[in-house]
Structure 1
C-alpha cells in the first residue's frame, strides 16, 4: 500500500510540473556566467544599480525568477533581459 501511495505522489508531481516556473538560482547563475544571450543582446555599457534592481524586481514580481535568484542577481550585478513581446527572459546581463 505504501508503494502505491509513493508512486501516486510521484506521478502527481510529474503531472503538476510547470514548464514556465520561475527560474531558480542555479539556472539564473549558470545563464549569467555563461553569457547565454546572442551577441549584442545586452547593453554595451554598465547600468546603474537602481536600474539593475528595478529590472530584477520586475522579473521577480512577474514570477520569472525566484527570490533567491533575485538576491543573487543584486549581489553579483546580473539582471534579466525580458523580451517585451513574449514576456520571457532572453538573457542574463552583467550590470555595474
Structure 2
C-alpha cells in the first residue's frame, strides 16, 4: 500500500508540472473565455501577447506548438507567481 501511495504521489508531481500542449492550451483558452470575470481588463497589445507566450515557453509551462497556437489566435497564459503554473489563458488584442 505504501508503494502505491508513493507512486501515486510521484505521478501527481510529474503531471502537475507538465507543460500544456496545444490541445490543452486551446481547451483552457476557450473555457476561460466563457467564465465571466476570468480575464477582466483591457486587452493587452499583440507584442505583449508574444512576450508573455515566449516567457511561458522558456519556463517550460507550455509547448512550442501551444505557443504557435497562442500567437496565431492571440491567447496568452496568465502565470501564478507563487505556484509558477498557468492559472488562466486570456485573449489579447490582435490589432
Which of 1 and 2 has greater Rg? 1
Q: Which has the higher helix share?
A: 2
- Confirm or deny that 1:47 pairs with 2:44: yes
C-alpha contact (below 8 Å) 1:78/1:95 kept by paired residues = yes
Distance in 2 between residues matched to 1:69 and 1:37, nearest whole Å = 20
Partner of 2:14: 18
Gaps of 5+ in 1: 1-14
* Alignment gaps of 5+ in structure 2: 1-10
Q: Tell me whether 1:93 sits opposite 2:90 in the alignment.
A: yes
- Asked whether the equivalents of residues 37 and 91 of structure 1 are also in contact (C-alpha less than 8 Å), the reply is no
Please, what TM-score do these two structures have when normalized by structure 2? Answer: 0.76
Matched, 1:73 2:70: yes
Task: Calculate the TM-score normalised by the size of structure 1.
Answer: 0.75
Secondary structure of 1:53 counterpart: helix
